[in-house]
């Protein structure tokens, strides 16, 4: 599973919308959408912010 797919899966599992994750992580909604759609890969700082907002360790989001 790609990073974007993992983020989408975890976000939906927490009942969050993309804009809610954007607010919680201080990452723009457009960036969240682009990451989830696989258009861009998040840089390390963005990945940390998203992981914190989702309440998971960064390693859970990384490609395996």
31-45 pLDDT, tens digit per residue, is 999 999 999 999 999
Phi/psi at 34 (nearest 5 deg)? -65, -35
The total number of structural domains that make up the chain: 1
| Rounded Cα distance, 45 and 19, in Å | 19
Residue 63 located in a structural domain: no
Residue 64 has pLDDT above 90, yes or no: no
What is the pTM assigned to this prediction? 0.92
What one-character DSSP code corresponds to residue 49?
H
Residue 64 located in a structural domain: no
- Which tokens in the block code for residue 32? 């969240």
How distant, in Å, are the alpha carbons of 7, 19, 30, 56, 64 from that of 59? 12, 23, 23, 8, 9
Query: pLDDT at position 46, please?
Result: 97
Per-residue pLDDT tens digits for 8-63? 999 999 999 999 999 999 999 999 999 999 999 999 999 999 999 999 999 999 86
What CATH number is attached to the domain comprising 30? 1.10.260.40
């Amino acid at each position: 599973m790609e990073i974007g797919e993992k983020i989408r899966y975890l976000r939906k599992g927490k009942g969050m919308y993309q804009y809610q994750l954007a607010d919680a992580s201080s990452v723009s909604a457009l960036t969240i959408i682009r990451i989830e759609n696989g258009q861009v890969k998040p840089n390390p700082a963005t990945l940390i912010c998203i992981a914190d907002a989702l309440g998971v360790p960064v390693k859970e989001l990384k490609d395996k």
